[in-house]
Chains A and B, each alone.
Chain A
């Protein structure tokens, strides 16, 4: 999916908001759906834009995308247990699919051995590290954008990512991601 162009110009709070909604609703929905579920995303993505509209935009805090992803991440944080359950369920599904390759439904969900390991590792990350990892991986935000989204220093983003990467690498164990073929 193509990432919509960033809107770096401070929008008019009212007239510009329709443009922000049109440009970013789908990707924010996708980000939430990948962390929680499609159903939850239907409601939560709408809440992101309501909160964004009501909160007002301050260009000094960064671009529009980090702003929206930050609000979305804050709302996702209210559903931590749901998210952790999701990653654990995905891990179990991947494990079952591994042992029962004929289960096509599960195989679709758990694309491979790596999925289960990564999902399990995600469930084990602390909330701050998980947010940084998923904003980077799913939202494709840069270090600076993640920092703006979470309102933390860039150095903190780097250290959290570093710590999380180590855990992900450890979870991957013998599997070398550089050699793994996907898609």
Chain B
């Protein structure tokens, strides 16, 4: 007996399906056959053509027509989400990360900037699979967040988070939603086994459904982003700008409060998070150079971000796979890239795309993104208490 026989005999067996299950499956199949037959009556030339059938063999999970429609829908989605067409990726030169080093050289020449507040205004769009009136389609969630961190610790820190209803992701999805009667709520499609309470109906429409904010003085001036420990604006301003110093700083600060000693391979790629923080151009340049030298970094080339702004697309976590649920699929592989501003090296957007196809989501389609909206960065503007938002002590 070899390992495979052993496996077959050791793993728990399953009882045969009940007669009810078999009949239910047979009924679904019969319904599909009936539907195909009716379709054939009206468009006989579209089915059972040998060439087409050969093409359809494989992992098509619906008719070829449906598959093509889905692909087109998401292609439309991508272009819809990006506002302007993304140019084809430019092949990186032999030393691909040189583009990042050149950007770093340019950033290093920028003058220091400052203001009363460091403002992050984030657009967080994400795709979700929903169902209504027998139609399954994609919708977009469009939460917005604002972070105001003061230069002077005596000024208040303000954060704000706002949620609206979902909207159909593409014109095709909009047609599906309308065909379902334009319901005010749609059912999220969840993975099998998800408790009903965890898979609620969600509202559609542009109306704001939630808005909350926090506003308080942080007497010690500790910043809200604690991924590198408790930092102040002054400490960020003093970030080393030489490679060795920066590496040591990242090692020392990333390990804080984390169990076990991490290797450079694990720690140094985390320096990308510094690009989200209020660091001086010289330090940003050093971070870009550090990242350019890591094997986990790959420059993809020039690309537009989801808001249509030109930038440099970089994969900072090559070889570090991640997964997410989408619709009934409990594990879709994801690819993450970051689009950097071509002048300042600041982040324009973090983009997550599907690394494989699943129902309603072809490989390469944007699943979600976080874009830094215009107005982000240092400003002398000051945050006003948002209208119609409820004040809370902390964000969940």
Is the Cβ of B60 less than 8 Å from the Cβ of A49? no
Considering the complex, which residues of chain A in the window 25-78 have a beta carbon less than 8 Å from any beta carbon of chain B? 25-26, 29-30, 33-34, 38-43, 45-47, 49-51, 53-58, 60-61, 67, 70-71, 74-75, 78
Is the Cβ of A46 less than 8 Å from the Cβ of B14? no
Is the Cβ of B24 less than 8 Å from the Cβ of A55? no
Return A15 CB to nearest CB of chain B, in Å. 10
A92 and B351 CA atoms in complex are apart in Å by: 38
Considering the complex, which residues of chain B in the window 294-347 have a beta carbon less than 8 Å from any beta carbon of chain A? 323, 328-331
A13 at the interface (CB under 8 A from B): yes
Chain A residues whose CB sits within 8 angstroms of the CB of B6 once the complex forms: 114, 118, 168, 172, 177, 180, 182
Contact string against B for A residues 91-111, beta-carbon threshold 8 Å, 1 for contact and 0 otherwise: 000000000000000000101
A168 and B2 CA atoms in complex are apart in Å by: 10
B17 at the interface (CB under 8 A from A): yes
Chain A residues whose CB sits within 8 angstroms of the CB of B25 once the complex forms: 21, 25, 42, 45-46, 49
Chain A residues whose CB sits within 8 angstroms of the CB of B5 once the complex forms: 137
Is the Cβ of B17 less than 8 Å from the Cβ of A182? no
Stretch binding the partner chain, chosen from B51-59, B126-134, B269-277: B51-59
Contact string against A for B residues 57-73, beta-carbon threshold 8 Å, 1 for contact and 0 otherwise: 11111110000000000
Stretch binding the partner chain, chosen from B26-34, B175-183, B380-388: B26-34
Chain A residues whose CB sits within 8 angstroms of the CB of B9 once the complex forms: 182-183
Considering the complex, which residues of chain A in the window 144-183 have a beta carbon less than 8 Å from any beta carbon of chain B? 151, 161, 165, 168-169, 172, 177-178, 180, 182-183
Return B55 CB to nearest CB of chain A, in Å. 9
The size of the chain A interface, using a CB distance under 8 A, is 67
Is the Cβ of A26 less than 8 Å from the Cβ of B16? yes
A82 at the interface (CB under 8 A from B): yes
* Residue from A14, A45, A55 having most chain B Cβ neighbours under 10 A: A55
Considering the complex, which residues of chain B in the window 22-51 have a beta carbon less than 8 Å from any beta carbon of chain A? 22, 24-26, 28-29, 32-33, 36-37, 48
| A79 in contact with B191 given A109-B12, A133-B7 (CB within 8 Å) | yes
B15 at the interface (CB under 8 A from A): yes
Chain A residues whose CB sits within 8 angstroms of the CB of B33 once the complex forms: 14, 17, 53
Is the Cβ of A60 less than 8 Å from the Cβ of B54? yes
Partner of A136, one of B4, B13, B17, B48: B4
A119 at the interface (CB under 8 A from B): yes
A29 and B59 CA atoms in complex are apart in Å by: 18
Return B160 CB to nearest CB of chain A, in Å. 34
Partner of A79, one of B26, B48, B54, B331: B331
The size of the chain B interface, using a CB distance under 8 A, is 50
Chain A residues whose CB sits within 8 angstroms of the CB of B63 once the complex forms: 54
Is the Cβ of A177 less than 8 Å from the Cβ of B60? no
| CB closest residue in chain A, given B61 | A51
A46 and B63 CA atoms in complex are apart in Å by: 16
Contact string against B for A residues 6-22, beta-carbon threshold 8 Å, 1 for contact and 0 otherwise: 00000001100100010
Return A77 CB to nearest CB of chain B, in Å. 8
| A30 in contact with B14 given A21-B29, A82-B192, A133-B4 (CB within 8 Å) | yes
Chain A residues whose CB sits within 8 angstroms of the CB of B12 once the complex forms: 34, 90, 109, 111, 115
B193 at the interface (CB under 8 A from A): yes
Partner of A43, one of B2, B8, B32, B192: B192
Is the Cβ of B28 less than 8 Å from the Cβ of A81? no
A40 and B192 CA atoms in complex are apart in Å by: 7
A25 and B26 CA atoms in complex are apart in Å by: 9
Is the Cβ of B58 less than 8 Å from the Cβ of A151? yes
Chain A residues whose CB sits within 8 angstroms of the CB of B62 once the complex forms: 51, 54
| CB closest residue in chain A, given B25 | A46
Chain B residues whose CB sits within 8 angstroms of the CB of A133 once the complex forms: 4, 7
B94 at the interface (CB under 8 A from A): no
Chain B residues whose CB sits within 8 angstroms of the CB of A165 once the complex forms: 2-4
Partner of A54, one of B14, B60, B329, B330: B60
Contact string against A for B residues 117-155, beta-carbon threshold 8 Å, 1 for contact and 0 otherwise: 000000000000000000000000000000000000000
- Could you write out 7 A-B pairs with CB less than 8 Å apart? A14-B33, A51-B60, A53-B36, A57-B53, A61-B57, A118-B11, A169-B3
Known A45-B25, A178-B1; 6 more pairs at CB < 8 Å: A56-B52, A79-B331, A112-B10, A165-B4, A169-B3, A180-B6
B residues adjacent to A (C-beta < 8 A): 1-17, 21-22, 24-26, 28-29, 32-33, 36-37, 48, 52-54, 56-63, 191-193, 323, 328-331, 358-359
